Structure 1
Amino acid sequence: MRRVTMLKTFNKTIITTQPACTFFKNFFKRESKISSETNLKTSFGKYGIVKPWPIVSGRKSVPSYIPKPSYAESSIPCDRPKEAEIKDKNQIECMRHSCILARQILGKVRNFLKVGFTTEQLDAKLHQLIIDNGAYPSPLNYQGFPKSICTSVNNVACHGIPDSRPLHNGDILNVDITVFLNGYHGDCSAMFKVGEVDEEARQLIDATETCLSKAISICKPNENFSSIGQIIEETAQKHGFGIVPAFAGHGIGNYFHGPPDICHFKNDEPGKMQTGMTFTIEPVLTQGGPDVEILEDGWTAVTTDNARTAQAEHTILITDTGSEILTQ
C-alpha cells in the first residue's frame, strides 16, 4: 500500500504528473456505482475497463488477542519518524518475521484466483490467513480503508478496494499485502493473471518486475535514493512503458509509512541509503499516460485514459554490503 499526491477538483481527485513524494489523502466518499463492463479491444489490448462494484461485507473483525497498530480503532496512524530510521538487530529481526509472513500470504493468492471469483472473496480468504498467523492486516482501517488487502484490476492503478465484481478471463490484478506482526509491518505486492491474458498484459507485467529487480540491484550503503527512480524510468522506457509518478515507496517499521520517500521516476530528491534502513520499492508502470484520478470512494485510483497498469513491490533492508529482500 503506497502514498499518493493528489489535487482535489469538483467531483474527483486528479493525480498530478509532477508529484512531490509526500502523502495527502482524499476523504471524499460516496456510494460506488455498478459497472456494465465488457471486455473491450482497445489500443492497449483486450480487457474489461473496471469501475467499483458494491462492497457486500463490512469491515472484518480481528481477535482481541492479536496485537494491533494504533489506527486499528481510531483510523489515525501514529506519528511517523522525521528522518529515515536506522534499525538495530532486534528491529531487523522483527521486520524479517513480518515480511516473511506477508510474502507467505501473497504466495497463497494463486490458490484462489479464477474466473468468477470476486476480490471481496479473496479479501475474506487472506484476512483469515493473516489472523490465523497471529497478525493484523495492516490496510484494515488505515485512514479508514475498509478492507484487509488492496486489489487493483486492469485500469485501476492502486488502492483498489475489494468488492463484488467477478474476475473476468483476461484480467490482470495487483494484490498488495501488508501485515502487522509483533509490532512491525511487512509489505509486498505482485501481479496475477486470470485465465488467458493477452501478450500486451504479459509484456507489461514482465517489464514491471524487471524494473523492480533492477532498482533493488543498485541498493547499497551511500547510494542516492534518487538512483532508484532513475533506473526504473530508464528501464520502463526501454520496454515501451511509462511510470505513474504519483505513487511512492516508503520507509516502514513499527509505522506503516515513513521516510524515506522512494520516487519511481527521475528525480533529484536528497538522501542516501544507510545500513539498517528498511523501505519499500513499488513502481507502477502504465501502457498509457501518467495521469490517474481518485474515484468517489476516496481510494480507488484509475488511469484517466483507461490504460492498464502493473505494480510489483518488495520491502528491502540495506546491509553493509548491499541489500536484502526481506519479502523474498
Structure 2
Amino acid sequence: MIIPKNSEEIELMRESALVVSKTLGMIAKEVKPGVTTLQLDKLAEDFIRSEGAIPGFLGLYDFPNSLCMSPNAQVVHGIPNDQPLQEGDIISIDCGAIKNGFYGDHAYTFPVGEVDKETSELLRVTKESLYKGIKEFKIGNRVGDVGYAIQKHAEDHGYGVVRELVGHGLGRTMHEDPEMPNYGKRGRGKKFVEGMVVAIEPMINMGTKSIKQLKDGWTILTRDGKPSAHFEHDVALIDGKPQLLSTFEYIYESLGIENDEEREFKK
C-alpha cells in the first residue's frame, strides 16, 4: 500500500534526505587512493550523528555498517573493509539516515582519482538515466513509465540493467510500496499519487545485467566482473510533479564541479 505524505511530513523527510546529502558531500573530499572504506564509514557515522540523526543502515536487516560501499564490479550492498581504494577505481557509496522519524536514502558513484573513458561514460549514462526516470515520476504516470525511461537510456548505450534490485517507496521505514524497478513497460504498474515519496536508483552494469551474491550474504557483484554504477535520489510528488528532497550539490561543491542538472526538480 502506498503511503502518501502531507506537506509537513515531506518537509521532515527533506531534512532527513539533506543529512544524507551533506554526508556524501563530506565523504566526497575523502574518496581518494589509499583510503579504506572502513575509514570512510567511520567518518560518515560520526557526521550523521553530529547532524542529530541516526545512521539508517547500521543494524537494518542486521547490516553491520553505516554505509554500503561497493567498488568496481560490486553493484550494491558492499560491506566496508580495510582494503585501500586504488587509482582508477569507482565506488558506489549508499547512505541512509533517520531524522524526525523518517528515512533519507541517497547514493552516488565516485571515481577514485582518474578513471578510464569507458568507465567514466558508464557513470555519466547511469546518472543521466536517473534523471530520465525522475522526469516520468508525475501524476498520470505509473511505475512502468519510470522504469522504461531508465531502461531505454541505459540499454541504448549497450549497458545491462539489473533486474533483481529495485528502488522503493520511502518514509518511516526504509522500504515502502511501491517497488520501483529500473526496467518496465509504459503504462504498467501502480499509479503515482500526490504526496508519495520514492527512492529512484538505477543500478547499471557495463556488461551483462546478470548478478551474483557473495557468501557474506550482502555484497552483490556483476556476473561478468565488469564495473557497475549506482545513483539514487529521494523524490516527492508535489503538485503533480517530481521534486528532489536529496541533492548532489554538496558533492559538487566539495569537488569544485559546476552542474545545474537538478534545477528543474527543485522546490
Both structures adopt the same fold (TM-score exceeding 0.5): yes
1:96 has 2:10 as partner: no
Equivalent position to 1:324, from 233, 243, 246 = 243
Secondary structure of 1:227 counterpart: helix
For 2:42 and 2:7, the matched residues in 1 are separated by 34
Tell me, yes or no, if the aligned pair for 1:221 and 1:319 is still in contact at 8 Å: no
Equivalent position to 2:171, from 248, 253, 273 = 253
How big is the shift at 1:270?
Answer: 2.1
The aligned residue for residue 220 of structure 2 is 301
Richer in helix (by share): 2
Equivalent position to 1:143, from 52, 61, 68 = 61
For 1:218 and 1:233, the matched residues in 2 are separated by 13
For 2:57 and 2:239, the matched residues in 1 are separated by 31
The aligned residue for residue 123 of structure 2 is 205
Secondary structure of 2:8 counterpart: helix
Tell me, yes or no, if the aligned pair for 1:294 and 1:302 is still in contact at 8 Å: yes
> Which consecutive unaligned segments of at least 5 residues does structure 1 have?
1-82
For 1:241 and 1:305, the matched residues in 2 are separated by 13
The aligned runs of 1:30-41 (5 Å cut-off) are none
Tell me, yes or no, if the aligned pair for 2:162 and 2:210 is still in contact at 8 Å: yes
For 2:121 and 2:48, the matched residues in 1 are separated by 31
Equivalent position to 1:164, from 82, 85, 94 = 82
Identity %: 35
The aligned residue for residue 127 of structure 1 is 45
1:228 has 2:141 as partner: no
The aligned residue for residue 262 of structure 1 is 180
For 1:308 and 1:177, the matched residues in 2 are separated by 20
Q: Which amino acid aligns with 1:275?
A: E
The aligned residue for residue 205 of structure 2 is 286
The aligned residue for residue 275 of structure 1 is 194
How big is the shift at 1:122?
Answer: 0.3
How big is the shift at 1:289?
Answer: 0.8
Tell me the alpha carbon deviations over residues 249-283 of structure 1, each in whole angstroms, 9 at most, x when there is no partner: 00111111010100101247521111100001001
Equivalent position to 1:315, from 198, 210, 234 = 234
For 2:17 and 2:32, the matched residues in 1 are separated by 26
The aligned residue for residue 260 of structure 2 is none
The aligned residue for residue 100 of structure 2 is 182
> Which consecutive unaligned segments of at least 5 residues does structure 2 have?
248-267
Q: Which amino acid aligns with 1:286?
A: N
> Which has the higher Rg, Structure 1 or Structure 2?
1
Tell me the alpha carbon deviations over residues 172-210 of structure 1, each in whole angstroms, 9 at most, x when there is no partner: 011011100010001110110111110011000000000
How big is the shift at 1:85?
Answer: 0.6
1:110 has 2:28 as partner: yes
Q: Which amino acid aligns with 1:266?
A: G
Secondary structure of 1:168 counterpart: coil
Tell me, yes or no, if the aligned pair for 2:145 and 2:188 is still in contact at 8 Å: no
The aligned runs of 1:47-126 (5 Å cut-off) are 83-126=1-44
For 1:106 and 1:132, the matched residues in 2 are separated by 14
**4+ residue runs of structure 1 moved beyond 4 angstroms?**
none
How big is the shift at 1:246?
Answer: 1.2
Tell me, yes or no, if the aligned pair for 2:160 and 2:207 is still in contact at 8 Å: yes
Tell me the alpha carbon deviations over residues 144-181 of structure 1, each in whole angstroms, 9 at most, x when there is no partner: 10000111100001000111111011000110111000
The aligned residue for residue 195 of structure 1 is 113
Tell me the alpha carbon deviations over residues 53-111 of structure 1, each in whole angstroms, 9 at most, x when there is no partner: xxxxxxxxxxxxxxxxxxxxxxxxxxxxxx01111122111111101111111111221
For 1:148 and 1:212, the matched residues in 2 are separated by 23
Q: Which amino acid aligns with 2:246?
A: T
For 1:145 and 1:247, the matched residues in 2 are separated by 17
For 1:239 and 1:230, the matched residues in 2 are separated by 14
The aligned residue for residue 31 of structure 1 is none
For 1:163 and 1:303, the matched residues in 2 are separated by 19
Secondary structure of 1:134 counterpart: coil
TM-score (norm 2): 0.90
